[in-house]
Amino acid sequence: MVRKTAVTIATGLVLTLSATGVNPAAAQPSAVASPGAQTAVSELPLDLPLANANGEFAGGVHPDLPTDLPTLERLLKQARAQNIEPSRYAALLWQHWLVRAVNNAGVRLNTWDPARGVDGNEHTVYAVYAFYGELFLRHPELEWAGMANMIGAAFAAGFLDLDSVGDLGTLLYGKVRELPYEVRESLPPELLDLTSEGTELSPVELRWFENKFLAMQKNIFMDLGSMHMAYLHGGIDAIEEMRSAGLIDAKAVGAWRDIATGEPARVSSGNTALLDREQNQIISGQWDQMYRRHAPVGSLLTYGMTVGGSASIPGAKTPGQYSPLRVTTPVTGVRLTTPLPDFNLADKERRWQYITEDTLPAYQNLLRHRPGEVRRIISSPFEGRVAEERLSARWPEVAGRLITGWHLDRPAVQAAHPTTPVAQR
C-alpha cells in the first residue's frame, strides 16, 4: 500500500508525496475505465515525438496528450500491461510524471506558456521554486531541489531585471572612458559593447530574452521535476523505466541510485550529477541561443546579467568577486584590475567552473554545518527573497561595488607610484 502525505505550503500549494521504493506500475491508482477495460494498441498514444522537449511552448510534451492525471494513468497502465516497449510510449510516460509535478506545484500546464512573458506567468514562476523547496523540506536527500530553490531567487530576479542592464552600462560608461586608450582597447568586447550599446536594447529584444529565460525555467522543471516525481512515487524502478523509454541517460539513473543509498557522500554525488545534467545538458543550448542572439546584443546582455549577478547562497561570491577581470596591455605592460567578472555566465565551461568551485561548495558547506539556516531560508516566502535580489533593492551595494576597486598598475619606469586607483566618478 502506498502511503501519501499532503503538505500545505505558505503559497497555498498542496504537495502530495509518496514513500519511495515502490514499483511504478503498482503505485498507480485504479483506472478510470471500468474494470478489465482495455484500450487497443492502435488507440494508445504511441510513437509521439517529444514536440515540446525544451519547454519553449505552452502545454506539455505533445499537444495530443491529455493533461488530466486519471486519463494518463489509465493509458500508461494499459501500455505497460500490453508489454509495449517503453520507447514507444515515452511521450505518454513523460507527460504522466510532468502532470504529477505541475499538479503538486499548483501550476496549470495548458496555460504555462513562456511566450506570455513574466506578467502571464507570474504565479508559475514563484510556484515552481516553492515546489522545489517543499521537495527538499520533505526529503532532505533531494539536495538539488533545495539548491534550486535558493538559487532560484537570484535567477528569477535576473530575468525580471533584464530592462535594467542598460543602467549597468550607463554606470560603467564613465569608468571605461576614463581609462587610457591602450587599456580600453585591451578590454573584452562584451564590456565595450555593454558600455556603448547597453541602453539601446529594444523592448522587442528584451521580451525575447525574457521569454527565453521563462522557457529555460520550464525546461528544467519538465526534466528534473518529472524525475523527482518518478523517484518519489515509483522509486528506482520508475527511473529505470524513464531510461528504457529514452527520456534520461545512464548517468541520470546512476545519480538517483546514489541518492537512494542514503549515504551522505553518495547522496551529495548524486545531486551534483543532477546539477551537472541541468546545467550542461538541459539548458546549455538555451544559454547559447541567448549569447548568439543578434550580435552583439546577446553577448552584452548576458554579460550584463553576469556583472549584476548576486550570490543568493550565504558564503558564495558574486561572479566578479569569484573571478575579477584583469587586463595587461601588450605594449606598455599597464595592468588593470576591475571588480567586473572576467567571464560570461552564458559560457558553459566557465559557468560550470563557477558553480563547482564557488556556489556548490558554499551550499554543501551550509548543508553540513548550518542545516537549520538552509531550512530557514527555504521555508521563507520565495517572493520576498526575489524582491530582495532585485537590482532596484541592491542598487546602492551594486553601484558601490562596480565603481570601486578599479586599479591601474603601471610599470615603475612610467610612474613613481605603480598602483593608482582609477578616479572615482
Are 49 and 95 within 8 A, CB to CB?
A: no
At 219, list the grid cell: 525546461
Rounded Cα–Cα distance for residues 67 and 56 (Å): 17
Are 81 and 35 within 8 A, CB to CB?
A: no
At 376, list the grid cell: 530557514
Each residue's pLDDT expressed in tens, for the chain with a length of 425 residues: 333 333 333 333 334 333 333 333 333 333 334 434 566 776 899 999 999 999 999 999 999 999 999 999 999 999 999 999 999 999 999 999 999 999 999 999 999 999 999 999 999 999 999 999 999 999 999 999 999 999 999 999 998 999 899 899 999 999 999 999 999 999 999 999 999 854 568 899 999 999 999 999 999 999 999 999 999 999 999 999 999 999 999 999 999 999 999 999 999 999 999 999 999 999 999 999 999 999 999 999 999 999 999 988 999 999 999 999 999 999 999 999 999 999 999 999 999 999 999 999 999 999 999 999 999 999 999 999 999 999 999 999 999 999 998 999 988 755 444 555 554 43
Rounded Cα–Cα distance for residues 18 and 37 (Å): 27
Look up residue 212 and give its amino acid: K
At 408, list the grid cell: 591601474
Rounded Cα–Cα distance for residues 88 and 107 (Å): 27
Count CA atoms within 13 Å of residue 181 on its CB side: 0
Rounded Cα–Cα distance for residues 297 and 93 (Å): 39
List the beta strands (DSSP E) in 135-204: none
Count CA atoms within 13 Å of residue 313 on its CB side: 25
Q: What is the pLDDT of residues 29-58, one digit of tens each?
A: 333 344 345 667 768 999 999 999 999 999
Q: What is the DSSP string of 282-297?
A: ISHHHHHHHHTTTTTH
Are 20 and 260 within 8 A, CB to CB?
A: yes
Are 235 and 202 within 8 A, CB to CB?
A: no
Are 144 and 225 within 8 A, CB to CB?
A: no
Among 311, 388, 290, 301, smallest CA distance to 354 is for 311
Q: What is the DSSP string of 70-117?
A: HHHHHHHHHHHHTT--GGGGHHHHHHHHHHHHHHHHT--GGG--GGGT
* Residue that is written with C-alpha cell 515546489 in the block: 131
Are 148 and 97 within 8 A, CB to CB?
A: no
Question: In terms of residues, how long is the chain?
Answer: 425
Pairing of strands 14-18, 419-421: unpaired
Are 17 and 3 within 8 A, CB to CB?
A: no
At 172, list the grid cell: 560603467
Q: In this structure, what DSSP letter does residue 327 have? A: E
Are 420 and 349 within 8 A, CB to CB?
A: no
Q: What is the pLDDT of residues 80-97, one digit of tens each?
A: 999 999 999 999 999 999
The conformational region for residue 229 under phi > 0 = left, psi -120 to 50 = alpha, else beta, is: alpha
Are 195 and 169 within 8 A, CB to CB?
A: yes
Are 94 and 152 within 8 A, CB to CB?
A: no
Q: First and final CA of the chain: distance in angstroms?
A: 69
Rg (the chain; Cα; Å): 24
Q: What is the pLDDT of residue 92?
A: 98
At 102, list the grid cell: 505541475
Give this prediction's pTM.
0.88
At 105, list the grid cell: 506545484
Are 210 and 162 within 8 A, CB to CB?
A: yes
